[in-house]
Structure 1
Amino acid sequence: MVLLGVNIDHVATVREARKTNEPDPVWAATLAELGGADGITLHLREDRRHIQERDLRIMLQTVAAPVNLELACTQDVLDIAVDCRPQQATLVPEKREEVTTEGGLDVVGSKDRIVDASQQLRDAGIRVSLFVDPDPAQIEASIKSGAEAIELHTGAYAHAAGSALGDKELEILHKAASDITSAGLLLHAGHGLTYRNVQPVAAIPQMRELNIGHSIISRSIMIGLQQAVSDMKRLVREAAK
């Protein structure tokens, strides 16, 4: 069964536009659970542009589903993660000037820092995942880092889905999936996945978990979050049969 993690960052983005107390991402996490989410994903960025430490701490006390905390290898956020102990932590790259995460971790070029961050998290009993591009060198370095899961950055596929280039990118994801699971790691994927392009990725035989945010939150504005999550969960289930 492919698990669906729902990223609720964009709910916090709307809140922070007015620096007020609504909409509350904690409430959104509850609605996502009611819609069938298997997990809740949130990204505590160094600049705190959307999710706040308060959101993480309350969510861990109130959400029944596992919480997946996305974070960069910065010590202040690592310290919060170690103190809060979410069920999973996904290390991601982070640039202050970006709108959202633009690519995978450079594990090859930052191996020592990533290995150290992974060790800190594992010592706290937190499962570690690395968000990387489906590049053989990055995957090989990720496998050697001590992580227990790898989340493939699906942006290249998502942007080209429905074309010959999209088919090629999907083949690359399949090859990466085989390499990751052959090494004994869990396979996750996310970024740019929508109601229109998710099923080929969900159908990858080794897929364990998809993390999707923007498309679900966008749809929820029109039909409500519980229904939006339920619709995505149905697509994932159908593809994974």
Structure 2
Amino acid sequence: MTRLSVNINKIATLRNARGGNNPDVVKAAIDCERFGAQGITVHPRPDERHIRYSDVLALKKVVKTEFNIEGYPDPRYMKLVAEVRPAQATLVPDAPDAITSNAGWDTLRHASLLRDIVKELKASNVRVSIFVDPVPRMVEGAAACGADRIELYTEPYAHEFNVDKTVAVKPYIESARIAHGAGLGVNAGHDLDLNNLNYLVTQLPHLDEVSIGHALISDALYLGLENTIQLYLRACKR
């Protein structure tokens, strides 16, 4: 079974819209785990427009499953990861003003930076995943940088899924095969939902984990959080 990590950024976005602490991000993480989620993902950004750095420190005390901290590896991110020591750090190449992740790393162009960052994070006993497009040479570059895993950027897959799902998934199958052959674990995330998730899971036999936030939290508005997590867990079964 592919593991489900719930990205709780959108819960923080809702809280921040009114101030105060409603909804409670920490309680939401606890509930996600109680309802069956196998991981919690956060992506603190420099402007703290959703998850705050203080949230990450509070979550460190309560998350019992895998804690995954995404972000661009600037000094503040690196300091936070060193302090929290999550199960996994996912490196993304986002500019500070990016609304959401929209491309993977060029692991060849940024090889020197990524090698240094990976080495530093692994010295803290943190598993390192590099966010990449489904391009073989980028997967190979991630392996050469010493990463433990890649996270495949799945927005293109989600966009093409309703046009031709076999064409949409093809580069992901190839990239996952190359990653597995290179000894990398395979994660995936971005725009995955109840419509397209199970097909991806069944086509990628080496898919370890998916990180899902926006669609899952949106579905929870209609279906309830517990029921929604159960539906996503069901979609994660091969």
The TM-score normalised by the length of structure 2 is: 0.96
The one-character-per-residue Cα deviations of 1:10-38 (angstroms, maximum 9, x if unpaired) are 10111122232221221111111122111
Mapped to 2, the partners of 1:129 and 1:50 lie a distance apart of 22
Is the CA contact 1:46–1:72 (under 8 Å) kept in the aligned structure 2? no
Mapped to 1, the partners of 2:106 and 2:4 lie a distance apart of 25
Partner-residue secondary structure (3-state), 1:62? coil
Mapped to 2, the partners of 1:68 and 1:90 lie a distance apart of 7
Structure 2 unaligned segments of length 5 or more: list them.
Answer: none
C-alpha deviation, 1:178, in angstroms: 0.3
C-alpha deviation, 1:217, in angstroms: 0.3
C-alpha deviation, 1:58, in angstroms: 1.5
1:195 has 2:194 as partner: yes
1:222 has 2:222 as partner: yes
Letter in 2 for 1:55: D
Mapped to 2, the partners of 1:88 and 1:32 lie a distance apart of 18
Mapped to 2, the partners of 1:105 and 1:35 lie a distance apart of 33
Aligned equivalent of 1:44? 44
Structure 1 unaligned segments of length 5 or more: list them.
Answer: none
Mapped to 2, the partners of 1:160 and 1:169 lie a distance apart of 5
The TM-score normalised by the length of structure 1 is: 0.94
Identify the range of structure 1 (80-89 vs 23-32) with the bigger mean alpha-carbon deviation: 23-32
Mapped to 1, the partners of 2:23 and 2:102 lie a distance apart of 26
C-alpha deviation, 1:111, in angstroms: 1.5
C-alpha deviation, 1:89, in angstroms: 0.5
Partner-residue secondary structure (3-state), 2:68? strand
Q: Sequence identity of aligned pairs in percent?
A: 35
C-alpha deviation, 1:122, in angstroms: 0.5
Mapped to 2, the partners of 1:29 and 1:180 lie a distance apart of 30
Match runs of 1:205-220 below 5 Å: 205-220=205-220
Is the CA contact 2:89–2:129 (under 8 Å) kept in the aligned structure 1? yes
Letter in 2 for 1:167: T
1:13 has 2:17 as partner: no
Aligned equivalent of 2:98? 98
Partner-residue secondary structure (3-state), 1:68? strand
Match runs of 1:141-220 below 5 Å: 141-164=141-164, 166-203=165-202, 204-220=204-220
C-alpha deviation, 1:95, in angstroms: 2.0
Aligned equivalent of 1:57? 57
Mapped to 2, the partners of 1:24 and 1:160 lie a distance apart of 35
Mapped to 2, the partners of 1:47 and 1:108 lie a distance apart of 29
Mapped to 2, the partners of 1:43 and 1:121 lie a distance apart of 16
Is the CA contact 1:35–1:228 (under 8 Å) kept in the aligned structure 2? no
Letter in 2 for 1:25: V
Mapped to 1, the partners of 2:149 and 2:196 lie a distance apart of 23
RMSD value over aligned CA atoms? 1.2
Letter in 2 for 1:20: G
Give the number of equivalent residue pairs: 237
Mapped to 2, the partners of 1:226 and 1:120 lie a distance apart of 37
Is the CA contact 1:39–1:68 (under 8 Å) kept in the aligned structure 2? yes
Is the CA contact 1:73–1:113 (under 8 Å) kept in the aligned structure 2? no
Q: Which runs of 4+ in 1 moved over 6 A?
A: none
